[in-house]
Amino acid sequence: MVSYVAMKKLELLLLWIVVASVGCSTTGSVTPGATLLSGLSEYQAEMQRIGSAPERWPDRQRAAGGLKIVVTATVGDSREFYRLIDLDVRRTEFIITMRQGSVSAARMQEMKDELVRIDEEIAALKPVVRSQMGSFPLQSESQQRIAGVATLGLLDLAVERFSGAGGTGPAARSTKIDQYLITDLGTFATVHGPEGQTYRCMTYGIAEEGAGMQCDPIK
């Protein structure tokens, strides 16, 4: 159960997500999947904005806490997702400390060994987290189904890229959901259907509610 304080924080966070990641409202409905996708994107953007200064660690902790609230409101109480976020923050702090060069050689080796263990745990958690997001429903109606497929595909790619660890090669830009190919092109995504039709998809925000996905056919 999410506390009253946490829910108030969520309301503010969702407004922050919408304004930061979209910039304006678009008529439509919000979905848990698109809201989570926006939360993940904004978390990563915030971590980059904060930078690598060691003294900014409280800000990085707050960003992680905000993402956990979004996870709770969209996926539910996921210890695996929370752990993935905690590991990302811990990994980030280790890398920042190591780049500063202010630790002994012995401690440096300990941190390198710990980073290996962190990356292994992250790799093991990602499939579990992706399976939890698979509970987001796909609508049967054509246009809504395309939006749902795009959301699931982009979430799959976002989790795979999360923390920049646990992968075996370059981050993938495409994935398949059912018979649909979803490609992340940065500012928008494309969904290529089994009948040859391609759709252009983008997230949009509704203030104080969350985010949704809009997909339109490319003629």
For tokens 């996870």, the residue is 71
Q: Are the C-beta atoms of residues 14 and 35 closer than 8 Å to each other?
A: yes
Residue 57 identity (one-letter amino acid) = W
pLDDT value of residue 100:
86
Read off the pLDDT of residues 131-174 as tens digits, 9 standing for 90 and up. 998 778 776 667 788 999 999 999 999 999 998 754 545 667 99
pTM listed for this prediction: 0.83
Q: Are the C-beta atoms of residues 65 and 119 closer than 8 Å to each other?
A: no
Residues in contact with 48: Cβ distance below 8 Å, sequence separation at least 6, in sequence order:
none
Residues in contact with 177: Cβ distance below 8 Å, sequence separation at least 6, in sequence order:
149, 152, 153, 156
Residue 88 identity (one-letter amino acid) = D
pLDDT value of residue 21:
43
DSSP state of 164: G
Which residue from 209, 171, 169, 196 is spatially nearest to 28, judged by alpha carbons?
209
**C-alpha span between 115 and 98 (Å, rounded):** 11
Q: Find the Cα–Cα–Cα–Cα dihedral 176, 178, 179, 182, rounded to 10°.
A: -30
Q: Are the C-beta atoms of residues 147 and 216 closer than 8 Å to each other?
A: no
**Low-confidence residues of the chain, pLDDT below 50?**
1-8, 15-16, 18-26, 166, 168
Q: Are the C-beta atoms of residues 136 and 39 closer than 8 Å to each other?
A: no
